[in-house]
Amino acid sequence: MTTRDPVITTEEFEAFIAREEQHERRFELINGEIVEKTMPTEEHGAIAALTLTRFVTYFEMHPVAGRVVAEGLYRPSGDKRNARMPDIGVVLGDRPLTTQGTADFIPDICIEILSPGDRLKQAREKMQFYLAHGAKFALLLRPRRRVVELYPADGDYEFLTAEDTLTFGDLLPGFAVPVARLFPA
């Protein structure tokens, strides 16, 4: 007979990450299992900063209610087994800002930056998780190839190269960024 570790709930997860010894570490709760996120590289941080800047500038210049968040914790509403931390989350509308614990929703746009230690298959599974739980778009930025895998909720996957422009149609009218500008020169 095999014994499995018990499934961790989001409440237990939040208590775990609140411990003093966890403050410098980053974790997600994936199907009831605590998983430590890999520490970002300088390249990862530069890509995150470039991407965040594009969204912040967009919200400053367009009358669209929303915000961009770096490494916020989110879970599907009522889900007690998952707390995910996209590298960048874009939340549209006037939803109140969560100031304690895990936000009880998935951002409208979830962005992950593939780090050297990340597995592509797992990153793509995370894109599907976001879409299955309410994201309108999920993006996987792949620095080594300088490409963006764009997953819209309607299922029409796109592979954008440095020559392409990233847009979100009616969701973010007027948002248009050359993919090359999301990666350091």
What mean pLDDT is predicted for residues 59-69?
92
* The pLDDT of residue 85: 95
Q: What whole-number distance in Å separates Cα of residue 67 and Cα of residue 155? A: 24
Indicate the pairing of strand 137-142 with strand 109-113: parallel
Q: What whole-number distance in Å separates Cα of residue 131 and Cα of residue 13? A: 23
Q: What whole-number distance in Å separates Cα of residue 55 and Cα of residue 182? A: 11
pLDDT in tens, 4-56: 567 889 999 989 998 999 988 899 999 999 998 888 889 999 999 999 999 99
pLDDT in tens, 97-139: 999 989 999 999 999 999 888 899 999 999 999 999 999 999 9
* The pLDDT of residue 70: 95
Residue 2 has pLDDT above 80, yes or no: no
Q: What are the structural domains, with CATH classification, of the chain?
A: 39-182 (3.90.1570.10)
